[in-house]
Structure 1
Amino acid sequence: MTCPTCGAPFDGVGSFCRQCGARLVGPLGPPPPGYGYAAPPPGYAPYVQASPRVQRNLQILSLLWVGLAVLRFAKGMVGMFFLRSWIRGGGGFGHHFPFGNGGPFLSAMMPFTLTTTVVMTALSLMVAYGLYKRRPWGRTMAIVMSILSMISVFPFGAGLSIFTLWVLAPAASAVEYDTIADTSRPGF
């Protein structure tokens, strides 16, 4: 059997294509009793379940994580620019430090800021790659980075964190992600 969307071979395991994520099962039949109708209304097409949450939102999540990586990098570079200006100018904007140009504390902040910016940008890009390529570790890394990103690049980071947790954290999402995860290639 092959996927009607992308033409990839399908071995019958799971309900989704491992390449494109398309649902590969037919219509589910009439809705269960107590769903709102005793029977579908006349002329109603067979009941088809809406596409699952993970499949529907995985690509947009990966693109939003790339956007967060770009914002993190820009925020870090702007922060380093102002920190460097502050150190060289003795406080910047007409304010001066009482003990010279900011001392060793502000000078030590430069490598810390650079390291934090590079590491968090790289981790955000890894989350985007893992989700886009449907790697088995992508869901776990996205959840961990979502928790770490709650306060970064506010409000975009907080919004993306909440959206990521809404899509990937439920147990049903874990099962769905494991079904569509690409386990054919080890590692990255």
Structure 2
Amino acid sequence: MFCDKCGSSLQTGQRFCPSCGKEVVGGAQWAQLRRGRVSAHIRLLGILWLAISAFNTLSGLAILLVAKPVLLHLRELGQGPPEFVQGFLQPLLTLVAIFVLSKALLGFAAGWGLLRREGWARIVALIGGFLALFHPPFGTALGIYTLWVLLPSESEREYAEQASRAA
């Protein structure tokens, strides 16, 4: 914090500027009351994890429930891909759907845990954040935001304090 008259650096709790003597009004006390990064962003982060997980769930279910029947229907009509391609596509689509649904489950756990300030949720969210970096554009944005909020060591201490108070 700096003096608004002379620009000198001020320490937290100082009542007067050491250079010009101007009284510091409320600013130094405000610095002590400032919310930390985790407390300022944890609720939004939890909500975003729940929202992106809902979209991942819809995507996974769409792949699982729509893509396979469409391939079967196309095969019955004789317009689908050749038999050997279809034999490869169905297991691949199932695997992709399972991966997307697993990612959604991880996100739901992270979001729910962050909103409830569970001790394990920070680690789950960080793992999800690293994985989300590879899913542009929204996953990448959420991954960066998650890492920015939860990765620093100060965030670890702040989250641990909040988790212990919530327990």
Answer whether TM exceeds 0.5 for this pair.
yes
User: Which whole-Å CA distance do the structure 2 matches of 1:88 and 1:40 have between them?
Assistant: 83
The residue correspondences of 1:3-22 to structure 2 (distance < 5 A) are none
**Residue 70 (structure 2) pairs with residue 88 (structure 1):** no
* CA shift in 2, pair 1:39/1:115, >3 Å: farther
Return the index of the structure with the highest Cα Rg: 2
**Residue 71 (structure 2) pairs with residue 71 (structure 1):** no
User: Which whole-Å CA distance do the structure 2 matches of 1:41 and 1:109 have between them?
Assistant: 71
Task: Tell me the C-alpha RMSD between the 2 structures.
Answer: 3.0
Residue 166 of structure 1 deviates from its aligned partner by 0.3
Percent identity, please: 22
**Residue 157 (structure 2) pairs with residue 175 (structure 1):** yes
Residue 139 of structure 1 deviates from its aligned partner by 0.9
User: Which whole-Å CA distance do the structure 1 matches of 2:163 and 2:53 have between them?
Assistant: 23
Match of residue 26, structure 2, among 26, 37, 45 = 45
* CA shift in 2, pair 1:151/1:87, >3 Å: farther
Q: Deviations over 1:125-176 (max 9, x none)?
A: 1001111111111111111111111123x21111010000000001111111
**Higher mean Cα deviation, 105-114 or 47-56?**
105-114
Q: Which amino acid aligns with 1:61?
A: L
User: Which whole-Å CA distance do the structure 2 matches of 1:134 and 1:124 have between them?
Assistant: 15
User: Which whole-Å CA distance do the structure 2 matches of 1:61 and 1:40 have between them?
Assistant: 43
Residue 43 of structure 1 deviates from its aligned partner by 6.6
Match of residue 54, structure 1, among 13, 35, 38 = 38
| Runs of 4+, deviation exceeding 6 Å | none
Match of residue 164, structure 1, among 140, 146, 153 = 146
Structure 1 equivalent of residue 13 of structure 2? 29
Instruction: Say whether the 8 Å CA contact 2:52–2:107 is kept in structure 1.
Output: yes
User: Which whole-Å CA distance do the structure 1 matches of 2:72 and 2:119 have between them?
Assistant: 45
Q: TM-score, normalised on structure 2?
A: 0.75
Q: Deviations over 1:42-61 (max 9, x none)?
A: 57324212211000000000
How many matched pairs?
A: 150
Structure 1 stretches lacking a partner, 5+ long: 1-27
* CA shift in 2, pair 1:77/1:184, >3 Å: closer
Instruction: Say whether the 8 Å CA contact 1:124–1:145 is kept in structure 2.
Output: yes
Residue 179 of structure 1 deviates from its aligned partner by 1.3
Q: TM-score, normalised on structure 1?
A: 0.67
Structure 2 stretches lacking a partner, 5+ long: 1-11
User: Which whole-Å CA distance do the structure 1 matches of 2:20 and 2:42 have between them?
Assistant: 34
